[in-house]
Structure 1
């Protein structure tokens, strides 16, 4: 997925835990917030707070949110000196420090605005997460979730920074309204009785960003007790606003999240720490003389290039479309002591890779628990009625966005695959970007429960 962040935002390398190669990191991560979107955020804020009073922006970048709207004073926090504006806007001050290490920022502001960085939790450095957790643990009711992307941490911070009658207005991915990783945040808001208005944006005007965005307004002082969740749609011109019936954007409600009730269950793709390092091409496998089973096992990270005409991932298909095609298809096998050859390959890992969240949390940075091959593999992301699905005769491990379905009994895989391919999932899941849908693992489990549970 693309990462949606900004100036204003603070996606700098040191702010989110990537101290090495900051130029490459910033070029991937940093996208300016379009001026029309900044103006729209302020229109919504000033409708509720005609004068926003004391405003804070965590990760303010070039402080462009200080260049619009009606407020008394704007305080921006930015970790990257290269992102600061040449001239500080009127009625504004900018503090060059980490948003999560700022002092006296609890309940000090009337409004928090901005566009926090969208960096996947796999890419967050452990030291950054620890610093964020230390700050957020001061919030009564905060619950940590190791799956949280960076913008979730910033949203918790924003809520704690505004007063008891304050307002938070952030541009964040629309997925937050439904993803399990943000479930604790949503439950916290509901328990407080706050009003949450989510404005789904048909086009947020970002360049190089595919992630579906929204404007999330959290009002701690709702008028006439009108708390709860309210969904809206903002049109292409960022002016027309209309109600949105369901989070799916269709006439059908979202698939529920359920744990598997039988031996037939879905399991998310393995997160090895970095697919670029832990999943090798055939060329690299041969270069380091790594052997199948001893050092590496077959693995699938994408079905994007495969045709849906086929139902089975055969050994031949795996060899032709992955091995011989130069795709990443060999997962490091962490069983037992590494061979001399595998030890040589592991020695090429950078300090940055070993320090990422996934690797740093392990007893041995490269050792993970690899699941057994599932009978059915499917892509969690899709653009048609149903995800691409294949019977797994290649006995490949599912990695990343490829999830697995374990069938009980195993011989039921053919019948179950036929049933799943006949279903239309598209109207019951939340779009992540234009034309791109995703089904979460426990949503698939809800479907499996209906198909295989005793009637």
Structure 2
């Protein structure tokens, strides 16, 4: 019989141990292994919610396949009586954490297996309460052999083959399936990114087809749950039973599990056709994918990546000081903080009328011709080949012939900041009307009109202004639902995500472009 323990005192001891063990590893090592401990308050919030999903008299068989120092077991001991816990076990692959954790909990029923959970098999009766913050290991830290083995084992365990671009946490969820008792409850504290990216599609299939998805609670991304990991966190609640007919899932957002800021029910049939679950609970319905999208009106590309902005981008004074030929430079826009207005006007030469005018070294002349005609430029390029970290040897530059040429990114009439933070009353993404000849770097998305739209805009330049006004009128929450979010409220919008945004309302404002593209059947979709 185990002796009574003072859980609060033991939790203080565990926190001290956690800090000591974390301090014994580099941030790089912890990132590579995905070791981010769950804060005490968050662990207890999750356990309280999980206990409510069990029958009041049900004995608890607890399981945590990524237990670390035991934050969730400690939370369990804090919120239920010792007598109610029938069994408790967990896995910890890293002896740096596992050995001290076993010593810490040696006077309790917790059994910690010091082994790799992904290679283990179920033993004994299944768990009816599985709570886990699985290791947040990105796919590029897994080699091809590991991925293949994980995919095979996961498919055998849960019937779904996980996408090879998935993080380790996706495999953990599938591999845990056989460890759960029938009707058992599981909570997974994971990054919310799976809800809106392509690799999450198979994980979402598991959640909709193999178990009953009860709830997904997304924490406000500005309320970072982990001090040492820039992720937007979600808690996914499932029950190990096939989903009932007409099943609806609770989506909640912000606040706490007990008191979310927003909450609504979404039919599972709707979720099966919605690629961006991050739209819930804010969205009223699934996004409309039938009809025209922005990608059918614009080629949307990331701005150019120079290889080294400090080498290739200069202001006029720097160019003149070095005696470099202005004809080998093209105007380029500075970062968005230097663009106070959302419309960039230009002078007679096409230069942007802004305070911070910058220019990009952009020439395709061969080096021998540069040496003959522009000796100052040849001397400057020579400096890019010197030193231990020579510009010419950097990844992007060494893949180009010659190394100093730039991507083909002419000026775009509309540009968009592709990363930004959400603030009350503000927009995380800015759409900017660019009336200058300045191109832009990869902190922007560039919107180039398709040929039929460009032809119409040549005749009527107001078309681009109409498109820009439409983009700026998009509800920020609707746009955020198409992108992805990280901890601290940092949002990102990739080209393909912006391409998929519905544009039927824009077509309604531009009746003159319909005849120019009607032969492709594009506008039949727009009014379908």
Asked if Structure 1 and Structure 2 have the same fold, meaning a TM-score greater than 0.5 normalized by the shorter chain, the answer is: yes
**Alpha-carbon distance in structure 1 between the residues aligned to 2:46 and 2:345:** 47
1:170 is paired with a residue whose SS is: strand
**Alpha-carbon distance in structure 2 between the residues aligned to 1:167 and 1:174:** 20
Alignment of 1:100-139 (within 5 A): 100=118, 102-104=119-121, 110=127, 111-118=129-136, 124-125=140-141, 127-128=142-143, 130-138=145-153, 139=155
Alignment of 1:310-329 (within 5 A): 310-312=342-344, 321=356
Higher relative contact order structure (alpha carbons within 8 Å, sequence separation ≥ 6): 1
**Alpha-carbon distance in structure 2 between the residues aligned to 1:208 and 1:71:** 34
Q: 1:40 is matched with which residue?
A: 45
Instruction: Select the structure of larger CA radius of gyration.
Output: 2
**Alpha-carbon distance in structure 1 between the residues aligned to 2:441 and 2:125:** 47
**Alpha-carbon distance in structure 2 between the residues aligned to 1:76 and 1:215:** 20
Q: 1:208, CA displacement in angstroms?
A: 6.0
Alignment counterpart, residue 476 of structure 2, candidates 385, 410, 425: 425
Alignment of 1:58-77 (within 5 A): 58=66, 60-69=67-76, 70=85, 72-77=87-92
* Runs of 5+ unmatched residues, structure 1: 1-6, 9-20
The answer to whether the 8 A contact 2:211-2:243 is kept is no
The answer to whether the 8 A contact 2:216-2:234 is kept is yes
**Alpha-carbon distance in structure 2 between the residues aligned to 1:388 and 1:185:** 32
CA displacement, residues 217-276 of structure 1 (integer Å, 9 cap, x when unaligned): 12221686675532134635x53357335744436446446885865235363797xx9x
Does residue 183 (structure 1) correspond to residue 225 (structure 2)? The answer is: no
Once the two structures are overlaid, the 10-residue window that deviates more, 154-163 or 250-259, is: 250-259
Q: 2:61 is matched with which residue?
A: 53
Q: 1:54, CA displacement in angstroms?
A: 5.2
Does residue 451 (structure 1) correspond to residue 506 (structure 2)? The answer is: yes
The answer to whether the 8 A contact 1:254-1:428 is kept is no
Structure number with higher helix proportion:
2
Once the two structures are overlaid, the 10-residue window that deviates more, 47-56 or 35-44, is: 47-56
**Alpha-carbon distance in structure 1 between the residues aligned to 2:297 and 2:353:** 25
Q: 1:342, CA displacement in angstroms?
A: 5.9
**Alpha-carbon distance in structure 2 between the residues aligned to 1:395 and 1:342:** 24
The answer to whether the 8 A contact 1:109-1:161 is kept is no
* Alpha-carbon RMSD: 5.3
Does residue 240 (structure 1) correspond to residue 259 (structure 2)? The answer is: yes
Q: 1:16 is matched with which residue?
A: none
**Alpha-carbon distance in structure 2 between the residues aligned to 1:255 and 1:194:** 23
Q: 2:297 is matched with which residue?
A: 264
Q: 1:35, CA displacement in angstroms?
A: 0.9
* Runs of 5+ unmatched residues, structure 2: 1-13, 16-24, 77-84, 267-278, 368-380, 458-462, 508-521
Q: 1:415 is matched with which residue?
A: 466
**Alpha-carbon distance in structure 2 between the residues aligned to 1:323 and 1:94:** 59
Alignment of 1:162-177 (within 5 A): 162-163=177-178, 165=182, 166-177=184-195
Q: 1:282, CA displacement in angstroms?
A: 4.0
**Alpha-carbon distance in structure 2 between the residues aligned to 1:53 and 1:78:** 21
**Alpha-carbon distance in structure 1 between the residues aligned to 2:196 and 2:286:** 9
**Alpha-carbon distance in structure 2 between the residues aligned to 1:201 and 1:308:** 32
CA displacement, residues 290-322 of structure 1 (integer Å, 9 cap, x when unaligned): x999x999888963x244523238785699648
The answer to whether the 8 A contact 1:386-1:426 is kept is no
Q: 1:144, CA displacement in angstroms?
A: 1.5
Instruction: Mark the CA change 1:193 to 1:317 in structure 2 (over 3 Å): closer, same or farther.
Output: same
Alignment counterpart, residue 396 of structure 1, candidates 439, 448, 459: 439
Q: Give the aligned length.
A: 404
